[in-house]
Amino acid sequence: MSKKERWVPLWVVPTLMIMAIGTVWLRLTIVKTTYAINESDKMIRELQQTLEQTRLKVTALRSPRRLEGIARTQFGWTPPHSEQVIYLHSIKKKNDESIAQ
């Protein structure tokens, strides 16, 4: 074999080195980005679960049965007597009569 056949241009080795380093850097960047995305997805799932639990708690706390129980036990409230009840349609009739006069 002659020297001409074995000779490699000088620019080939640095070019191959740059390409190898670039490939490794690119793969590391992809791995880091994938890890960050997975962590974000995990956080989103946890926050969605917390939101759902909080909504369930709010619903339970707003329950009319629970509120009535608190009103009776803590505040001593009782259902109103019939003379304490005011019906809205009777108020409207009274207002209409007073306007007509």
Residue 86 in any domain: the answer is: yes
Number of domains comprising the chain: 1
**3-class SS string, 23-66:** HHHHHHHHHHHHHHHHHHHHHHHHHHHHHHHHHHHHHHHCCHHH
- Structural domain range at position 34: 10-100
Domain-located, residue 48: yes
Q: Is residue 5 part of a domain?
A: no
pLDDT at residue 92, rounded to an integer: 64
13 vs 16: CA distance, rounded Å: 5
Tell me the mean pLDDT in the region 45-62.
97
Domain contains 73: yes
**2 assigned to some structural domain:** no
Output the pLDDT for position 80.
87
The answer to whether residue 3 sits within a structural domain is: no
Specify if 76 maps to a domain. yes
